[in-house]
Each structure stands twice: as structure tokens, then as C-alpha cells.
Amino acid sequence: MKLELPFLGKTKDSFIDQGIGEYCGRLKHYCSLHVSVVKARRKKGWTDVQQRDEEGKVLLASLPGATVKVVLDSAGRQMSSEGFAELISRFEQTGVKHVAFLIGGPTGHSAAVLDSADHLLSFSKMTFTHDMVRLFLVEQLYRAYTIKAGERYHK
């Protein structure tokens, strides 16, 4: 199974980018991982909805066909790290080839992205920057794989 992580634009803070790099390096021992940076157009005067729509089109267009979409959104389901590991295991056991984890831009996701979601996932009721969520996502993916492997990292 291949994990797709299309990020909207570059990560702004170097310390976050370093953390993402660290966990992506660790994840390569457990799974096939493809991180990409996709760029959405920005036009002066666009509303938040127009910007979200543009970002949504770019995110969805970046995915291979037959991709399971896990959309990170504040309205999504919260789960434990063990539950997240179980979700990853279910994908593997059912023969899923591609899973994409979609993080919106600063104003969230478009209706098209939310409607296309196979799973809505929330990391917290708190608000985080989309750059921080990238780091949280790769760390939780790494944690899920170490849980599945019975390794000590989770403790």
C-alpha cells in the first residue's frame, strides 16, 4: 500500500519541515510513502470559498485513481493512536493500493474535497496550523506502524 501526502505549498517553518523529514525517513522502513508539494493559484480578491475551491481542485487532481481519501478536518472523527493503527491495518487487509491523507489550506477544505472523503479524521478539537498538522500526521503514521509492528515507540 502506498501512502500519498500531497501538501499544499511548502512548509513555512524549518523546524516543522525538519520534523516532517525525520518521520518520513522513519516511515520508509514500514511503507511506501510519497510526499508531494502541490501549488494552488492565488488571486487577489478571491474569497475564502474561491481559494478553498482552487486548493481542492489541485489536491484532488494530484491523486492517482482509486485512491482512498482520508481528509483531515475539524469535523472529522477523533480516534486513538491504536484506532488509527487499526484503520491502516484494515486498508492493508482489504487490498487498498493508495491512501491519501489530505490537509487543507489555512481556511480548510472545499466542499468537493469533503464530499469525496472516504474517511473524515480530526486530530483535535483545537485549531492547529495546517503546517503543524503535517508534522502531527507523519508522526501519527509512524506511531501507527510501530504499534502494528509491536515496537516500543508507542509506549
> Residue type for 43, please?
K
| Bridging pattern class, strands 98-103 and 119-121 | unpaired
Q: Residue 145 contacts by C-beta under 8 Å, 6 or more apart in sequence?
A: 27, 30, 31, 85, 88
pLDDT digit string, tens, across residues 92-140: 999 999 999 999 998 899 999 999 999 999 999 998 999 999 999 999 9
Give yes or no for residue 86 having a pLDDT over 80: yes
pLDDT digit string, tens, across residues 43-81: 899 999 999 999 999 999 999 989 999 999 999 999 999
pTM for the full predicted model: 0.95
Give yes or no for residue 155 having a pLDDT over 90: no
Q: What is the pLDDT of residue 9?
A: 93
Q: What is the DSSP string of 31-75?
A: SEEEEEEE-----TT--HHHHHHHHHHHHHHTSPSSEEEEEEEEE
Q: Domain ranges in the chain?
A: 2-154
Confidence of residue 85 (pLDDT cuts 50, 70, 90): very high
Q: What is the pLDDT of residue 137?
A: 98
Q: What kind of fold does domain 2-154 have according to CATH? A: Alpha/beta knot (3.40.1280)
Kind and range of the H or E element at 118? none
Q: What is the pLDDT of residue 153?
A: 84
Give yes or no for residue 154 having a pLDDT over 90: no
Give yes or no for residue 8 having a pLDDT over 80: yes
Give yes or no for residue 42 having a pLDDT over 90: no
| 112 C-beta neighbours (distance < 10 Å), count | 14
Strand, coil or helix: what is 3?
strand
